[in-house]
Amino acid sequence: MDGKLFTQSPTITLTVMSAKTIKITYWVLTILLALAMAGDGFGGVTKQQAGIEVLQHLGYPIYFMVIMGTAKLLGVIAILQNKYKTVKEWAYAGFSFTFFGAIASRAFAGDAIGEFIPPIIMLVFLFVTYYFWKKFNQLKSTE
């Protein structure tokens, strides 16, 4: 050893996603989110038994299913379009309120920690989808 800690300076290589990767990732994530929310929204509008049981457990009235289901279906339409950005922002906000509300409702009901995992996962998924939407918009503005 010649007294040096490093013989070469360490380098960090950052990988930049290509425009094509960003577009594909954005659309795949958006479609997956839309499918999940459409299924949940449809279940609410049609008052599926599993949803009724959860709402009863959490102490909400059953008619709340139809209200939330309708809002989720409208949110799906909003996130699948790219013309009205403000409407899309509101849909992302509405979905985030839904997931935060689900987490809080489970906490107030005294549910086991395992019941918190699905809305937390969906909230993280929503944030990642939102991030890629913003990246997608940056690409469109530079074209």
pLDDT on residue 94? 97
- Radius of gyration of the chain, Cα coordinates, nearest whole angstrom: 21
Asked if residue 8 belongs to a domain, the reply is no
Give the residue, 140 or 61, on which the prediction is more confident.
61
Q: Which of 137, 57, 139 is nearest to 92 (CA)?
A: 137
- Count of domains in the chain? 1
pLDDT on residue 140? 77
Alpha carbon distance, N-terminus to C-terminus of the chain: 54
Q: Which of 41, 40, 47 is nearest to 62 (CA)?
A: 47
Q: Which of 111, 109, 124, 103 is nearest to 33 (CA)?
A: 124
pLDDT on residue 14? 46
Domain containing residue 125? 19-142
Asked if residue 26 belongs to a domain, the reply is yes
Asked if residue 4 belongs to a domain, the reply is no
Over residues 3-50, the pLDDT tens digits come to: 555 556 555 544 578 889 999 999 999 999 999 999 999 999 999 999
Asked if residue 1 belongs to a domain, the reply is no
Asked if residue 41 belongs to a domain, the reply is yes
pLDDT on residue 72? 98
Over residues 41-88, the pLDDT tens digits come to: 999 999 999 999 999 999 999 999 999 999 999 999 999 999 999 999
